[in-house]
Amino acid sequence: MKKSLGLLLCAALLSSASLAGPLEDQIRYRQSAYAFIGWNTARIKAQLDAAERYNKDQVSAAANAIAAAANAGLGSLYGPGTDQGTGWRPSRLKPEFFQQQAEAAQLAGAFNKEANELARIAAGDDLAAVKQQFARLSETCKNCHSRFRTRE
């Protein structure tokens, strides 16, 4: 029993599809990734809301962090069963996520696309364009939350 569990854990750790291992780790890493994204999103929003002290380097670094997280392969943290269980706190993923994989992939793809676009635009000097693109990115966050995340 112990041996097969060990083998299972090894297989889970080595598989490129589920490198995050046990369910609780997947949930905790997922919550960490989105909290990290949330921190960077909040920093960009604060800068856009006080544009007179806009710091391009900070916004660009935050946008790069969001894009790198979006590109990191967060999908591997959505293994079967991760709608149940507790990472830092109980998972808020709706079970529908696993029945609606095409829609989930489409929402994830939209997030990636807009995150990469924001990183590109934030490296430039067009503040209005950054603002517009940040709104587009935020929309993709909201779309996925309202579809696949339980309300608190």
Binding site residue list for heme c: 141, 144-145
Lookup: tokens for 58: 């900070």
- Looking only at residues 115 through 144 of this chain, which bind its own copies when binding is defined by CB under 8 A? none
The secondary structure of residue 76, as a DSSP letter, is G
Please report, as residue ranges, which positions from 46 to 85 form the binding site for its own copies (by CB under 8 A). Answer: 46-47, 49-50, 53, 55, 58, 61-62, 64-65, 67-69, 71-73, 77
Q: Which residues on adjacent β-strands are paired with residue 93?
A: 149
Our finding on whether 88 is near its own copies (CB under 8 A) is yes
Nearest approach in angstroms of CB 116 to its own copies is 12
Shortest Å distance, C-beta 53 to its own copies: 7
Determine the size of the site formed for its own copies (CB under 8 A). 37
Binding range to its own copies, per CB under 8 A, among 1-9, 23-31, 101-109, 131-139: 23-31
Task: Name every residue whose Cβ is closer than 8 Å to that of residue 100 and which is 6 or more positions away in sequence.
Answer: 147, 148
Q: CA nearest 95: which of 18, 29, 150?
A: 150
Nearest by Cα to 137 from 44, 36, 30, 28: 44
Rounded-to-integer distance, Cα 92 and Cα 31, Å = 9
Work out how close the CB of 46 gets to its own copies at its nearest, in angstroms, rounded to a whole number.
6
* Proportion of the chain in helix, strand, coil states, percent, rounded to 5: 70, 5, 25
Structure tokens at 137: 């990115």
Taking the least distance from each CB to its own copies, the nearer of 9 and 96 is 9
Which residues lie near its own copies (CB under 8 A)? 13-14, 16, 19-20, 28-29, 31-33, 35-36, 38-40, 42-43, 46-47, 49-50, 53, 55, 58, 61-62, 64-65, 67-69, 71-73, 77, 88-89
